[in-house]
Structure 1
């Protein structure tokens, strides 16, 4: 069985390497009827000072999107981007998924230690546990 995405998929991207890696894993699964929506969530501090200015965060998001577009240029899929702002990354991802009425949220899990996951919580785990739409975890391209 070959997996393909013929509709709209939401692709959360956290940093340039993550965006490029996820796009490379996703590209072979897209068709000319696919739309990949790349979304970067700028995590707000919720009352505390933010780590960087909005302008810096938007520039970084554009860098992420640019790197992610690279592997997707070889496809016939449409590519859209969105920057979201909020105190909870997973909530923002699913809000965007609902707003766009996507068919699935697609990601590759970033490597991290179990200890770090316990301290910070895992976005990947929450995406699966709190899924409001189908969630697909793609294997890393080098696996």
Structure 2
């Protein structure tokens, strides 16, 4: 059985602006089913970064922004301490053919100190991971 790499992609988004930009970057490409994902980062023994209601509103706003470009995209919210593992778990749950994401910039020292999630996702995922290139006007 042959699987097309973009039969069903999971697309993680952080917030409304990220979702809108990611959808716009994805628009020129041909993909099958899309599951847009928001991971609510849990505190793991410490207070959560934001109240559940606020996190769920961020997810809803992100989905609404993504749906401006891809109205038929499915949605998933997961609550995890480890964002990367949350993405991988949802990709498994929905049997995605690939994980597609937009790398987010930031200072290299912060990425080093916090652990680069993009690199972890690429190294730990059990399916292909596709990074969308930024448009020239976004750089």
TM-score, normalisation: structure 2:
0.89
Please tell me whether residue 111 in structure 1 is matched to residue 105 in structure 2: yes
Per the alignment, in what secondary structure is the counterpart of residue 121 of structure 2?
helix
Deviating runs (4+, > 2 A) in structure 1?
none
- 8 Å Cα contact 2:102-2:131 kept in structure 1: yes
What is residue 89 of structure 1 aligned with on the other side?
83
TM-score, normalisation: structure 1:
0.86
CA distance in 2 between partners of 1:43 and 1:100 (Å): 20
CA distance in 1 between partners of 2:37 and 2:45 (Å): 23
CA distance in 1 between partners of 2:135 and 2:73 (Å): 20
| Unmatched segments (≥5 aa) in structure 2 | none
The 5-angstrom pairing of residues 48-67 of structure 1 reads 48-67=46-65
| Unmatched segments (≥5 aa) in structure 1 | none
CA distance in 2 between partners of 1:5 and 1:28 (Å): 16
Report the alpha carbon displacement of residue 138 of structure 1 after superposing the two structures with TM.
Answer: 0.8
CA distance in 2 between partners of 1:79 and 1:30 (Å): 14
CA distance in 2 between partners of 1:85 and 1:91 (Å): 10
Cα distance, 1:71–1:5 mapped onto 2, change above 3 Å: farther
CA distance in 1 between partners of 2:124 and 2:45 (Å): 25
Please tell me whether residue 128 in structure 1 is matched to residue 122 in structure 2: yes
